[in-house]
């Protein structure tokens, strides 16, 4: 059995307003449309997504919700994790290594530049993830604990 990981950068957010926290920034109208479009693109891949993990930032949560519709993923399978907010590479690696092995195909919705750096680390391919872009990575093993530097095969990068 293999594992697949989709690393998805949140869709375009509105600019931070005075007095607003970075975490509370919402998606722009373009971001809402792009997130829905990403869900449609992912659905066409017929991947059987087991769950979605998301940063607690509003823009990431909304992206996760908007992609879940076209994927027909119940919102109970969207898990918010505080460690994913602006997570550095080491935190992302630890997070992936500790994901339940019952999940074979997982989406993580997070932030740049760290998602791009993490993609490069686990695939040995330099990528830049624009807003609402994703990298799809395959691992030729069935244990998330085995994910390490260069262990993944970059199948595609899709920038909307």
Annotated binding site for substrate: 59
User: What is the three-class DSSP state of 135?
Assistant: strand
Half-sphere exposure in the Cβ direction for 64 (13 Å, CA): 28
- CA 96 remoteness from chain centre: 11
DSSP secondary structure of 75-121: GGGEEE-GGGTT--HHHHHHHHHTS-TT-SEEEEEE-TTHHHHHHHH
d(CA 160, CA 34): 7
d(CA 115, CA 86): 9
Q: Give the phi and the psi of residue 96 in degrees, each rounded to 5.
A: -65, -45
Residues flagged as binding site: 59
- CA 34 remoteness from chain centre: 14
């Amino acid at each position: 059995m293999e594992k697949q990981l989709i690393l998805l950068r949140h869709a375009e957010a509105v600019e931070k307003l005075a007095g607003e926290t970075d975490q509370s920034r919402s998606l722009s109208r373009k971001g809402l449309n792009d997130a829905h479009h990403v869900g449609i693109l992912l659905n066409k891949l017929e991947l059987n997504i087991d769950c979605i993990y998301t940063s607690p930032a509003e823009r990431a949560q909304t992206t996760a919700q908007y992609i879940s519709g076209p994927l027909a993923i119940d919102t109970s399978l969207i898990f918010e994790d505080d460690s994913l907010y602006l997570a550095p590479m080491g935190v992302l690696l630890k997070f992936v290594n500790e994901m339940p092995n019952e999940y074979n195909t997982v989406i993580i919705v997070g932030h740049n530049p760290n998602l791009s750096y993490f993609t490069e680390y686990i695939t040995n391919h330099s990528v830049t993830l624009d807003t609402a872009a994703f990298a799809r990575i395959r691992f030729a093993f069935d244990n998330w604990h085995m994910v390490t530097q260069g262990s993944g095969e970059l199948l595609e990068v899709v920038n909307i």
